[in-house]
Amino acid sequence: MPKRIPILYLIFGVLILVSVGPLVWYGNTVVNDESDRLVTNEKLLQNTITRSVEEELAQRQSNLLTMMGNLASAITVASGSDLKGKHLDAPELRALLEKFVSSSENISYATLIGSESKGKGITAKRIEIDDFMLRELEHAFAAAREGRPYNGPAMQIGAGKLSKTVTLVSSPVMVENHFIGMIGVIVDQQPLLNRLREDSKGGLSIYVVDRQGRLVAGADSAYVTGEDMTNFDIVKDFVKQGSKANVTKTMEFSVTRNNTKIDMLGSYRPVPSLEWAVVAQKTQHDAYQGVSEMQSKNRWLALIVILVSILISIFAANQISQPVKTLTDSSRAIAKGDFSKRVRLKSRTEIGELATTFNTMSADLERLVFDLKSAAQENRSLFMSSIQMLAGAVDEKDPYTKGHSDRVTRYSVILATELGLSKEEIEKIRISAQLHDVGKIGIEDRILKKPGALTPDEFEIMKTHTSKGASILRPVEALREMIPGIELHHESLDGRGYPHGYKADQIGLMPRIIMVGDTFDAMTTNRPYQAAMDPEYVVRIINSLAAAKFDPRVVAALTAVFERGVLRLYRAGTVTGEQVAAAAAAEPAEAVADAPASPPVAGD
């Protein structure tokens, strides 16, 4: 016996046993594919027709607006930009209007109304308009006075064979954004009706509705112009979508006629320029008739063959799927990070060989992941050591703030943790706080190490350490996100900080946290310009400046951790009453700003 049985032999044997099944399956697949193709073709037909009608309507509207724009330009020139009084009665204007109406069979009426004509103007017409249309003209004139075009609802004019479906379109005549009059045009929608009737065949019904779901034009004489069509879900969906409707949508829905529910298939295509929609719909019985016939012929044969195929396939599938399931479960465990997972599978097929290869791969992955984690930990340790070394170098350079960076880092991490920040954000704050004074490398020793008060000019130089620190670290891609804490930790919510004088939301959370930690350490350590203050007194001072200088949330976090003892300090010496009084008398915003009020001295 060979060590491995080729899986090809097993599959070949199964196919021999279930040869009838695959044939039936193939037949069903072909039928289903053809059914899907028929359904797709029906939907594509509806989409194509609605898109074609929409494009025709949009083009017709575009042409009309272009003609009206040209007419407005000609009227402006002919009237000398004045449509008031006798200027409106000029024969040149009437000639332009009559020529405009005669230029297209679709234009049944046109009127030119001046800005002060109060509904009176000159007209050129092929039809008589009724009171309803006169009211629409009033609406159009009101819109024109506001500088807006107007597309009115579809209306029926005339009666019997002389009735026409028309719409009113108007646009203002403007001169240098100043309204001087309105052009109103009544458009005959007979070409649209002819097109809809031409395309409505084979059970397909096509019609056009406006943005309220009222019928503009339709091939079915059972519905009249202006009728509410929202009883069709497809129309209701268009109305609901409103201005969001800008693509073709196909959907199945139902309607009730004579207490009978009828399933429908329909598509609509919005006409954005008119805020209309072209709708095509057909009963699902008509739409899917070919599908039903094809499926019925195949159903009985498929039923018998499938029963036989199922019995045979259960056995074959179990023999093949069980090993695959074992491999799948093991793969899923490895995907979740358990690289110790091994496949316990006895099989003489290629699947058994695959299991052996899988186990070898898992062992290799386990070793590789271990090596990667070790290397990542070493790189991180080296990275953090480099940062601590750089911060230590800064602290060593400044004799008055030795250990300051480490303490500020500790305080900032405690505050960030109290605020519930993520581990990633806390790590960024840790690095930023460690390097927050790195810019002092660029400050001259004569200023940085000066034991006494700084002159105003020297203090200005000292304040540049924030910008210098940001400039030093900006080229380092890995530290880009930490720069705000370095550059802005001396800003103030009231805008009195430096280097930029940012206010409130201009200052991110990272520098807000570091500025509190920095201030807390500055006031609780001995400096040339002050003795270390009692921590409880410092917390009260910082609380008094919440919202003015410091973020209230960060101050609340400081108070909470201090009261729990996390930040409680035990200094060798305590501040005297005279020192507390002197500190309290100083300008509060500067007394806690990690820089003296007056006179300025070297140090943080």
Looking at the domain assignment, is residue 386 inside a domain?
A: no
Strand partners, 214: 228
Q: In angstroms, how far is CA 254 from the centroid of its own chain? A: 34
Query: 550 pairs with which residues across the strands?
Result: 546
> Does the CA dihedral 209-214-216-220 come out positive or negative?
positive
CA separation for the pair 231, 239 (Å, rounded): 11
What pLDDT is stored for residue 493 in this prediction?
93
> Helix (H) and strand (E) counts for the chain?
20, 11
Residue type, 108: S
- Residue 546 CA to residue 553 CA, distance in Å, equals 9
Domain limit, last residue, from 188, 213, 233: 188
Residue 437 lies in a domain: yes
Cβ–Cβ under 8 Å, residues 209 and 181 = no
Q: Does residue 353 lie within any of the structural domains?
A: no
Burial of 108 (0-12, 13-18, 19+ CB in 10 A): buried
Q: Are 157 and 166 in contact (CB under 8 A)?
A: yes
Neighbours of 2 (CB within 10 A): 6
Q: Which long-range contacts (CB under 8 A, 24 or more apart) does 113-120 make?
A: 113/137, 113/141, 113/181, 113/182, 113/184, 114/83, 114/84, 114/87, 114/88, 114/180, 114/181, 115/83, 115/84, 115/145, 115/179, 115/180, 115/181, 116/84, 116/85, 117/83, 117/88, 117/181
Residue 233 lies in a domain: no
At residue 596, the pLDDT reads 36
What is the reported pLDDT for 415? 94
- Segments in 398-534 forming alpha helices (H): 404-418, 423-434, 445-448, 456-463, 465-473, 483-487, 509-523
The CATH number assigned to the domain holding 167 equals 3.30.450.20
Per-residue confidence (pLDDT) for residue 222, from 0 to 100? 82
Residue 108's pLDDT is 87
Q: Which of 188, 209, 238 is the last residue of a domain?
A: 188
Is residue 178 in a domain? yes
* Residue 216 forms part of a structural domain: no
Domain holding 524, by residue range, is 404-591
Q: Rg for the chain (alpha carbons), in Å?
A: 42
**Alpha helix locations (H) across 336-418?**
350-397, 404-418
User: Which two tokens mark 589?
Assistant: 């915003």
The first and second tokens of residue 269, run together, are 């295509």
User: How many independent structural domains does the chain possess?
Assistant: 2
Report if residue 417 sits inside a domain. yes
Question: Is 499 a domain residue?
Answer: yes
Q: Which residues contact 453 (CB under 8 A, 6 or more apart)?
A: 529, 596, 599, 600, 601
Crossing angle between the packed helical segments 404-418 and 423-434, to the nearest 10 degrees: 160
Q: What angle do CA 346, 347, 348 make, to 5 degrees?
A: 135
Residue ending a domain, choose from 173, 188, 203: 188
**What is the end-to-end Cα distance of the chain in Å, rounded?**
84
CA distance 569 to 534: 8
Question: pLDDT value at position 474?
Answer: 86
Give me the pLDDT at residue 572, please.
35
What confidence score (pLDDT) does residue 158 get? 79
- pLDDT at residue 494 in the model: 92
> Could you list the mean pLDDT of each consecutive 10-residue stretch along the chain, which spans 604 residues?
55 60 64 74 88 92 92 89 81 89 88 76 80 88 91 85 87 90 91 90 90 90 87 92 83 88 92 91 81 67 64 61 67 70 65 71 73 66 62 62 82 94 93 86 79 82 88 84 91 92 92 94 80 89 92 94 76 38 35 37 41
* Burial class of 296 by CB neighbour count within 10 A (0 to 12, 13 to 18, 19+): exposed
CATH number for the domain spanning 433: value is: 1.10.3210.10
